[in-house]
Amino acid sequence: MINRVLVTAGASGIGFAIADAFDQTGCKVHICDINKAAIAEACANRRFSASVADVSDPGEVRRLAQETLAALGGIDVIINNAGIGGPRAPVESISDDDWDAVMRTNLYSMFFVVRELTPILKAQCSGVIINISTTSVRTALPNRCAYVVSKAAVEGLTHNLARELGPYNIRCNTLRPGSIENERGRQLLEQRAAREGISYEEALQERLGYISMRSRITPSEIGEAAVFLASDAARHITGQCISVCGNVEWEN
């Protein structure tokens, strides 16, 4: 069976790696992103169909659902990947607007997408939902309260959906990426090095010191994990939070 897959924020980073992994297995893939130029680049050498959409807006999600179903002829797999880092600040300094922006992008967007497409999955009595979280939920992370809380709520959403939708043969799991070796991951280390007045290499070695396997992961590993969770080999895996991280022990 050829799965029909939607990947939100699929034009770059982890989202693109996930979309690419499904594409390589022969799946039909529809991506969305708020960045039109990134979509054009992502689709240049792939068979993706695509929509420009801000999934934090329920109206745009309704349009995205219609465009996804039209492009794919249905839906089998939903990858909720859209997210932002939000403010880096102590909790008492986080503004209402910053808090709301993180919750709408990281949490509400997943609810909006699931709400629109679950009736299709229920009608066919099959489907897979994979929500992207972070290992920071497990470690906690000072001065990143909005981000961590939003992702903890994502895991609660996953857990409840797995129970609610299980009788319809719809599985729902969370993937927790760890420290990723890509442009975004390198930027985060550069910012940390600048804040602490240390070199990039020192920041990297300190980060690796809190990872049991002393190595970072690649975006393609998240893609591979998503493909597995959507496959028949994972047909009875649901309601789980699966970390792809080399065992992140701590972070600061």
Does the pLDDT value for residue 143 go beyond 80? yes
d(CA 134, CA 51): 25
Query: What single-letter amino acid sits at 206?
Result: E
Task: Please identify which residue in the block is written with the tokens 């219609």.
Answer: 66
What Rg do the C-alpha atoms of the chain give, in angstroms? 18
Does the pLDDT value for residue 92 go beyond 80? yes
H/E run at residue 6? strand 4-7
DSSP one-letter string for 91-152? GGG--HHHHHHHHIIIIIHHHHHHHHHHHHHHHHT-EEEEEE--THHHH--TT-HHHHHHHH
Instruction: State the chain's mean pLDDT as an integer.
Output: 97
pLDDT at 2: 77
- CATH code of 4-179+218-244, in short, is 3.40.50.720
Does the pLDDT value for residue 122 go beyond 80? yes
Average pLDDT, stretch 154-183?
97
pLDDT at 252: 85
Residue 243: beta bridge partners? 176
232: DSSP letter: G
pTM: 0.97
Average pLDDT, stretch 79-100?
98
Pick the catalytic residue from 108, 147, 200, 210: 147
Does the pLDDT value for residue 1 go beyond 70? no
147 catalytic, yes or no? yes
d(CA 120, CA 32): 19
**Strands of the sheet with 241-244, listed across from one edge:** 49-52, 28-33, 4-7, 77-80, 127-132, 170-177, 241-244
Average pLDDT, stretch 130-137?
98
Question: How many CB atoms neighbour CB 58 within 10 A?
Answer: 15
pLDDT at 208: 98
Q: Where are the domains of the chain?
A: 4-179+218-244, 181-216
d(CA 30, CA 27): 10
pLDDT at 161: 98
pLDDT at 7: 98
